[in-house]
Amino acid sequence: MTADLQKGRMGPRACLLGLLALFVAGKCSYSPEPDQQRMLPPSWVSLGRADPEEELSLTFALRQQNLERLSELVQAVSDPGSSRYGKYLTLEDVAELVRPSPLTLHTVQKWLLAAGARNCHSVTTQDFLTCWLSVRQAELLLSGAEFHHYMGGPAETHVVRSPRPYRLPKALASHVDFVGGLHRFPPISTLRQRPEPQVPGTVGLHLGVTPSVIRERYNLTAQDVGSGTTNNSQACAQFLEQYFHDSDLAEFMRLFGGNFAHQATVARVVGQQGRGQAGIEASLDVEYLMSAGANISTWVYSSPGRHESQEPFLQWLLLLSNESALPHVHTVSYGDDEDSLSSAYIQRVNTELMKAAARGLTLLFASGDSGAGCWSVLGRHRFRPSFPASSPYVTTVGGTSFQNPFRVTDEVVDYISGGGFSNVFPRPSYQEEAVAQYLSSSPHLPPSSYFNASGRAYPDVAALSDGYWVVSNHVPIPWVSGTSASTPVFGGLLSLINEHRILRGLPALGFLNPRLYQKHGEGLFDVTRGCHESCLNEEVEGQGFCSGPGWDPVTGWGTPNFPALLKTLINP
């Protein structure tokens, strides 16, 4: 038990034991995640009940304070028209603002102490507490929970989860947002390797997307690389036993990095980097972040979910809340269906993303690889938005293809590019004009019953997502596709722009969306052709939204024209 937990003071011990007794009896309790979907995801199978003495690591999200003020500050530091633009908060500033009340800290700590929790660790902002308990203790603490072993996914990952909802004492209703490590199963990568397109003859044609193709299409010269003289840095995150190998990165740069200055090693790995086989997604993230954001120091956040009760994405959020000095740009290829997440969880994660925006971090998330998505509600089809792509505090990246897959041509929609409208978050003010314009002018809108027209619309931008070369486990692999590819590319180019800003004594770009929408996509190639996929039924026949002039919910404002985007974003 940490010193903080041991020294917390909160009333007579009899009250605590009484509270625990009430809880164990199942009385006066509430469920913080009543809407958490508990259907077993496809490909996961139960291996039976967990041993009562098995150790679990659970994360308790403590209720934060001053969230309205935090939202106001994010808007102020991200809006170029504000006097506070670029004056980002430090981690300590954020902690001072959102730190749970003394009553919350003491109540939760005493409750866990009485339950036998041990080896508890907090974060700088004190709004998360991760503790170890036995299965027996956890099931007593979290009434209704019943822990089972599960196996699933391509790598036959093992996790411990509860298929049943949990309840907390009502006395904790105002102190705990949710408990992590019970319900959410690891999402499966949607990255895919497509068949090679067949065209007659190959003279003068490229054979897939490589760094040189990226640099040609987006108008980068050999001089568009990091200077190596600033404290500029960028990062990507890898989850679910996905690892990169240094040798793969070195081979990738040897094959494809000969015409621009670059770094061939990762500067820092945060977390545990496994020794197993490299994952294609992790290899792709690192290789294209470091070739687009060439010669810039790169970190990799590795949250493999080694312990079966951990949630890797949640672990990444905790890392952000515990480090004062972080890279300016973070790219993440991760997402879940909004409807598969509890309201408590999705709102709290959104707050964590808001905290990052307040600190001036640029977070880019892949928009997903299922187009508009599709699900059935009471027998009626609807599109299925993805989170965190739908968060109003991240920049979401969609995907495009070359009009001619073997030539560096104009881009069209990649039919898998995720996009749509959130069913959880209302449309933020920064995109009001752009989205209203699309909804009023698009000639190809799906039926209104399929989407929430008043929700946060995404993506915000796009980049090529089709036909990449990746080196993984010493093998060059062609035709890898997904928004997991477009996201690190766009992130790397933003890192190059940060390099110019830092050299001029300007702050890093920070949360990009308010500026991006104010500029109406200036500096981006507008993608106006193509639609993405959706429900395969008679009403929409597999077609979701379509791109058009200006912003659209398939490719956002478009893809980067680097010199023009640099000119747009270099000014204060």
User: Which tokens go with 179?
Assistant: 């408990």
Q: Which residues, 6 or more positions from 68, have their beta carbon under 8 angstroms from its beta carbon?
A: none
Is 550 labeled as ligand-binding? yes
Q: Which of 33, 139, 281, 460 is catalytic?
A: 281
d(CA 46, CA 92): 43
Is 460 labeled as ligand-binding? no
CA within 13 Å, CB half, 327: 29
d(CA 545, CA 535): 11
Tell me if 342 sits within 8 A of 183, measured CB to CB. Answer: yes
Query: What three-state secondary structure class fits 326?
Result: coil
Q: Which of 29, 333, 484, 534 is catalytic?
A: 484
Q: What are phi and psi of 551, to 5 degrees?
A: -75, 145
Q: Is 308 a known active-site residue?
A: no
Q: Is 241 a known active-site residue?
A: no
User: Which tokens go with 495?
Assistant: 């890192």
Query: What three-state secondary structure class fits 162?
Result: coil
d(CA 26, CA 323): 39
Residue indicated by tokens 């079966």? 308
Is 373 labeled as ligand-binding? no
- Among 59, 184, 55, 52, which Cα is nearest to 131's? 59
Q: What are phi and psi of 190, to 5 degrees?
A: -105, 5
Is 552 labeled as ligand-binding? yes
Q: Is 281 a known active-site residue?
A: yes
Strand partners, 480: 193, 468
Residues acting as catalytic residues? 281, 285, 484
Residues that constitute the known binding site? 526-527, 550, 552
In the annotated binding site for Ca(2+), the residues are 526-527, 550, 552
